[in-house]
Structure 1
Amino acid sequence: MCLLELAKQTTGVAGDLTWISAGGLLRAAMSMGLNHDPENLVKMTPLRTELRRRLWVAILEINLQASLDAGALPLISPRDFDTRPPRNLDEQDLTAETGQDVLSDIGLGSYTQTSAQTALFESFATRLAIVNLVNQSDPPEYRETLRLSDDLVSSTRALMQRLRSYPRDEYGVSGISSFQLHLVEMIMNRHLLALHLPWWNDALRNPIHYYSRKTSVDAARTLASLYRTAPNPSPSLIDFDRLLVCGSGPFRSTPVHACLTLTLEYIHLKEEEQNNKGLTSLLEALNLM
């Protein structure tokens, strides 16, 4: 079911209904008890424990992205689950014979095939609060916007620094790939753009909201740069570029929002330039009188 939801998001087949089906997937997972950590349930093998944690984190992310695309509430709260994040382990280390001592020896400083998922989940609570804030019926408070923005910017900086410190492997086996780096950066910045973009128009009249205007433009520039094909791209970067060209859902709407933001900013800068020229001419004329 997770693969089916991902296929809907990337191919556009029944894409408008992704939020509905993602919600059904979330509730199916909760009915299976995935929202409760296996250590709080009956005794399970380390393999089954980690599989349940990975599956729950994947479902949460699918539901969150679908909610952001649909402009709807995720209908999930951190109080609704106590499942711990998956451990930083390679898939080949998870077998039926894997012991608890092996699971506790690997730290976050070493790269595994779960590193990107584990690192991204650390910002889930902040990104969930952002989606709830921008999609709620009541107007958001700017103070809350700034608080969430600070949390997300700090999380993004720490997240990207950690991921870039891992060895590189374009196939994502022994190191992190360009595909993973670009995808994580896209996810983080599209939340930042969604958080500040509603304040962009107010920032033109109220200097108090100028930070949102600047942050929106910076996030849009970062997103637009991801959609620029690099010379001699790596195999994983070719896959990412192909996904951006042929994909649907967030892979199609994100560049549109980024380009529109940059276009509006450019138009406003040109208008400000024309107004400043007119004001300068008026002042010069007054000085000659």
Structure 2
Amino acid sequence: MHAFFEHYLPAEPAAAYLAPGISMLAEIWFDITEDVQSAVQRWEQTGFIRLDVASENQQERATFCRHAVSIAASLVIYRPPPSPPEPVYLAPQSMAARRQAELAPRYGAATIVIDNIPAASSAHIGPKVCQAARVSLVQTAELPGMLATWQNKGFVVLGSSDLLIKNNEMGFSEGLRQAAVAAGASLAFFQITPAKVRAVQRKADGRIDMDAVRADPPVKMSPGGSSVLQLVLLAPVSLHARELAEAEFGSSHVPIGLGESSPVTAPPATLKTSW
């Protein structure tokens, strides 16, 4: 478990609730080069084959990855502007070729939300597929008010956490999303309050005394300073509530399992769990 959640305190939800929504994702690699033929030959040497299929939008670079999914390709190679793109779609012939290609240099990759696993031919395998939980992560300056609002909209609190962090700490938002999924939450609110280290103390219930933090604030929020991060995790009691949150805040995909050619099993419709 991430260090942020050493002080996680589970709650006892008042009602059964839904697990996060699940999306199926496919990963498509792409190479952008002026020498498409040489790139194709290099990938063929790693065990990929060229798929002789035509796209209706051969000039629309934004559609290439989506088209690759539709034909169960794992890779699309094309030329950069202003040259005509001349896309070529390829797929690995075996799992060994795909694993070898994981280490091969390439321009980048894109993750595409899909409805079904792409159907590959007997001559090749499809792209990497995984399932991901959808989580809405929201920073707020009014944590109690947001909690009250979304409890009224059909969410229950699963638990909360607070801790002292450095203001220059990077990448903690991904840890927050992963923690939300681990707790079965679809919605995560967090608030950051600048704090002096000496003002941070925990009460008997294990929570940081925010009154003490606010009573002795730092002069300013500096990169080398510290803050208290408060996190509250919530889950919807209905599909309507979950859809409301996703519509208002959007959502991020948090992978919950990787498959070679198929996704993992989704979590149950209702979930009660704690760390």
TM-score, normalisation: structure 1: 0.21
Higher relative CO (Cα under 8 Å, sequence separation at least 6) belongs to 2
TM-score, normalisation: structure 2: 0.21
- Pick the structure with greater CA Rg: 2
Of Structure 1 and Structure 2, which has the larger fraction of its residues in helix?
1
Of Structure 1 and Structure 2, which has the larger fraction of its residues in strand?
2
